[in-house]
Amino acid sequence: MQMKNHILPAIKLTALLLLLLTVVYPLAVWTVAQFAPNKGKGATIADNKNEYYVNIGQSFTADQYFHSRPSAVGYNAAVSGGSNKGPSNKEYIKEVQTRIDSFLIRNPMVQKAEIPVDMVTASGSGLDPHISVQGAKVQIKRIAEIRGLEEATLYKLVDGQVEKPRWGLLGPEKINVLKLNIALDAISLR
Amino acid sequence: MNTEIIGIVLVFGLAIALALPLGKYIAKVYDGEKTLLDPICGPIERLIYRTTGIKPEAEMNWKQHILALLTINTVWIVLGMLILMTQERLPLNPNSIPNMRIDVALNTVISFVVNCNLQHYAGESELSYLGQLWLMFLQFVSAATGMAAVVILFKAFKEKTADTLGNFYVHFIKSCTRILLPLSFIVATLLVFEGTPMTFEGKTNMTTLQGEQIQVSTGPAAAFIAIKHIGTNGGGFFGANSAHPFENPTYWSNSVEMIAQLLIPLAMVFAFGYFIKRKKLACMIFAVMTLGFTLLVVPSMYMEMQGNPAIAAMGIDNSLGAMEGKEVRFGAATSGFWSIATTVISTGSVNAMHDSMMPLSGMNQLLAMMINAFYGGVGVGVLNFFIFIILAVFISGLMVGRTPEFLGKKIEAQEMKIAMLIALLHPFLILTGTALAAALPQHTADTLNNPGFHGLSEMLYEYTSAAANNGSGFEGLADNTRWWNISTALVLLLSRFLPIIGPIAIAGLLASKRFVPDSNGTLKTDTATFGLMVFAVIVIVAALAFFPVLTLGPIAEYFSL
């Protein structure tokens, strides 16, 4: 029993398995993907101008749009990542405080206790397409004023955009910010 | 909140329900019995045997098994270095990714060969699609290596006395063709229909609704992510791993990935029971593992749902829990559950950033990897647990004055020495690594993302993850430096192959011993009492070795919040 007796079979086996696992297998999955939404290129949604990925969050900074969550990568979808700040990090705690303060400045009619935590913390991917339902509702007063819409209209719009847990059982309720903003543009072209 | 908990319970229950029949199937596969996939896999396997000159009927003893295992793993390391360091000029590089630096390539290749997937690189910018495909290959074969290793243990206890224990290549090839490949295909299919991309085109240019120009990374991700979980590898296609909205687009895809990573580690325990026809023993092992898992996962979920007290003190609505580093579509509870599942099993894929989790959740993630035997990685989880069984048999044998025996084999000095060495190796590598990193701040201080106690936790986590072959990280650590690449590569190598060789050697030695039939003097190993004994041994070994450093890291941070 010597190592060299195993080297040649090992190399040949590697070559064959490479064929099976990195050519046949991905091609099989790719073939299946041709039947999936958008042929396996990631689901998209369009408004009257452009096409966007539904699942890739975008940066919304303008006052007339519902804002997304803070992002450690500025919603640059060429990369991804979180802040990785530890819960006791003093700088981080200060940063969150700053986010709360600027949220209150941009939404002066909102009480501090109404701001949900997702709106002042960065997501893991930096590309989170969602916010919580409360995260959308807390922005309604601002948007109603800027767009000259009734608050009730906006509440209805937000409620219509709530993504419920599957079968009413699995996972949290949430709102896709991009879809919400596209729907918002549709009811008030500005 | 309630829908989150219901989702978790359903997912875990479904994983167990699927693991039972899968365990039976795995046992049949390794036993050479007829199975459903024979008509497809039989011809492929025969073709492989014929082309490579491997003789499937040639029996190997435990030493020959180890030699075959080590040789083929060496081939992968050499070949992998070549590919990653020349990827710029190789095909499938639409994004013009440059060659990898030698220390990054070394760390990357070793970490994928040993089923760890530390990923000091960022997938989007440092790997060509060919490089990604090569790593996907390693995700298959490293998992199959672990599985082929544990089969040696299965075989050792099946016969009363045996010197030869089947053929390594047969176990290895069957693991790929009959278990990993079909399961991965199913998972990949589920994922593409949830919205995970599977395309060979490069980055897409896009205009956002607000009118900014951005690029979006995409790629052949679905195939990669399936084996990443089925093989408990954990290396993500995108930098943010399973937190990325392409890698894990919905709560449903999250459930699929969750089950995919739990599946084989759970099934392996059942397969052991079916294979050696001792279901009660498998139940004992499963119960101890599940007890340990529950004790780690419940507090973590609770801590994450409570949220960060420092943020609650600012007076905002903190009811969603600790959302820093988490995705809204999963929520705090599900992310807390995943964080422990991925660390007790050696997956190491993350759907939320562990660095930003609550201190005691971080501690439980560390403990999960320090113990590394509650389910554990594909194949190796059972091997690690086997070491604790041997220790427990010996200690309880001494306590009640009975000969230490396991499944009719006497445990003697030689086996005990090996078991002791392997049990001590894990804390030795983790603690020495962390101590060196702390003692040499010129190499490490600038790489920390957080000050104070949490900074120590970042270093501790990196070595623990490397030693457990886990691959998750406190990702704030800027680990793509020479120090981290090389030191963790060493830890990875030692902590993969020694804990495979050790238990196999014990199993091989025991297999060739004379079978002693059960008598009144035999210590029963398939009882709840013995299960508690094993659990106590695990707790004592892990707690005693790691308690001091946990006090300096996460526990100190908890009290400072």
Domain positions in chain A are: 54-187
Contact B328 A41 (CB under 8 A): no
Which burial class, exposed, middle or buried, applies to A150 when counting CB atoms under 10 A from its CB (0-12, 13-18, 19+)? exposed
Instruction: Please tell me the distance in Å from A123's CA to the nearest CA on chain B.
Output: 4
Angstrom CA distances, A135 to A25, B289, B317, B320, B356, stand at 42, 39, 10, 11, 21
* Alpha carbons B298 and B340: distance in angstroms, whole number: 9
3-class state of residue B204 by DSSP: strand
Contact B208 A97 (CB under 8 A): no
Which among A39, A125, A129 has CB closest to B243?
A125
CA dihedral B244, B247, B250, B252 (to 10 degrees): -140
Question: pLDDT averaged over chain A?
Answer: 93
Contact B7 A169 (CB under 8 A): yes
* Alpha carbons B100 and B98: distance in angstroms, whole number: 7
Task: Say if A107 is an interface residue toward chain B (CB within 8 Å).
Answer: no
- pLDDT tens digits, chain B, 561 residues: what are they? 577 888 899 999 999 999 999 999 999 999 999 999 999 999 999 999 999 999 999 999 999 999 999 999 999 999 999 999 999 999 888 889 999 999 999 999 999 999 999 889 887 789 898 998 999 999 999 999 999 999 999 999 998 888 889 999 999 999 999 999 999 999 999 999 999 999 988 888 999 999 899 999 888 999 999 999 999 999 888 889 999 999 999 999 999 999 999 999 999 999 999 999 999 999 999 999 999 999 999 999 999 999 999 999 999 999 999 999 999 999 999 999 999 999 999 999 999 999 999 999 999 999 999 999 999 989 899 999 999 999 999 999 888 888 888 999 999 999 999 999 999 999 999 999 999 999 999 999 999 999 999 999 999 999 999 999 999 999 899 999 999 999 999 999 999 999 999 999 999 999 999 998 888 778 888 999 999 999 999 999 877 899 999 999 999 999 998
Does the predicted interface ipTM exceed a cut of 0.85?
A: yes
Contact (CB, 8 A) for B205 and B199: no
Which among B71, B207, B307 has CB closest to A50?
B207
Cβ-based contacts under 8 A for chains A and B: 371
Range 255-284 of B in CB contact (< 8 A) with A:
255
Name the residue among B366, B360, B371, B361 with its Cα closest to residue B535. Answer: B371
CA angle B74–B76–B77, rounded 5-degree value:
65
The H-or-E segment that residue B384 falls in is: helix B380-400
Contact A79 B125 (CB under 8 A): yes
No. of H helices and E strands in chain A?
Answer: 7, 5
Range 39-98 of A in CB contact (< 8 A) with B:
39-43, 47, 49-62, 65, 69, 75-90, 92-93, 96-97
* Alpha carbons B243 and B247: distance in angstroms, whole number: 7
Q: What is the mean pLDDT of residues A132-136?
A: 96
Minimum Cα–Cα distance from A47: chain B residue: B209
Contacts of A58 in chain B (CB under 8 A): 208-210, 214
In this prediction, residue A2 has a pLDDT band, given cuts at 50, 70 and 90, of low
* Alpha carbons A47 and A64: distance in angstroms, whole number: 17
Contacts of B193 in chain A (CB under 8 A): 36-37
The H-or-E segment that residue B336 falls in is: helix B331-344
Contacts of A65 in chain B (CB under 8 A): 209-210
Residue A67: what residue type? H
Task: Say if A100 is an interface residue toward chain B (CB within 8 Å).
Answer: yes
Name the residue among B115, B46, B105, B106 with its Cα closest to residue B378. Answer: B115
Task: Say if B58 is an interface residue toward chain A (CB within 8 Å).
Answer: no
Contact A10 B357 (CB under 8 A): no
The residue behind tokens 């294979």 is: B275
Name the least confident of A112-126, A165-179, B224-238, B336-350: A165-179
Contact (CB, 8 A) for B495 and B467: yes
Strand extents, DSSP E, A35-125? 44-46, 51-53
Distance of CA A89 to the CA centre of its chain: 25
Which among B176, B192, B353 has CB closest to A40?
B192
